[in-house]
Amino acid sequence: MGLNKIIFSLLFFSAFSIPLVSAQQVSLEVEGSCRDYAATVTAEGFDRGCYDVKVDVSLHGERVGEILDSGRWKSSFFYIENGFCVEIENKTTSAAYQLKADTNQREIIFEGSLRNGTKTWDSEEIAVEQNCPRQDELLFLPVALLVILLLLIGIAIHLNWRERKGRNIKQEAK
């Protein structure tokens, strides 16, 4: 019975003395309100090295986003090769990316991913409500300015016509 206590104690203490392996986790934070966004990908528990990264922007399953990669915009469907580097193993690492959404729809979906070879890690999907002005709101200002401009032109023409008519009447009277 003493031997069983010793074995149990060894198993108990060895189970708690083994370092726990941290889970690899990818998270995503998105800022912006209409078409232009900044996304921050954060990775926890990853080995040192560079990973391919993507921040996908979709609407009803279709890609509607572009991500800036080395000064060029490309579809958010594609990964940026070696675009996310972890300098210190198991340390939380973050990197920021610029995105654009090619839609005025109210809600779009963002998802971040890291890839190394065939292994991928995905963030949770984030639904972002866009605050884009409606098309009729965008047309109001130019149309209003055009109407005002036409009214001013009409007033200027009318005043010019009255002035000429007044001169013609004075010349006829002489």
**Residue 90: partners with Cβ closer than 8 Å, 6 or more residues away:** 22, 44, 45, 46, 47
Look at residue 75 and give its three-state secondary structure: strand
Q: How confident is the model at residue 157 (pLDDT cuts 50, 70, 90)?
A: confident
* Residue range 8-31: mean pLDDT, rounded: 68
Average of per-residue pLDDT across 45-60: 96
Mean pLDDT, the chain, rounded, equals 85
Cα–Cα dist 84/93, whole Å: 9
61-70, 76-85, 96-105, 129-138: least confident range: 129-138
| pLDDT for res 47 | 96
The backbone torsions φ and ψ at residue 14, rounded to the nearest 5 degrees and listed phi first, read -70, -30
Decide if pLDDT at 74 tops 50: yes
Q: Which two tokens stand for residue 19?
A: 């370092």
pLDDT band at 17 (very low <50, low <70, confident <90, very high): very low
Mean pLDDT of 20-41: 89
pLDDT classification of 155: cutoffs 50, 70, 90: confident
The Cα–Cα gap between 65 and 104 comes to 12
The pLDDT tens digits for 160-169 are 877 777 777 7
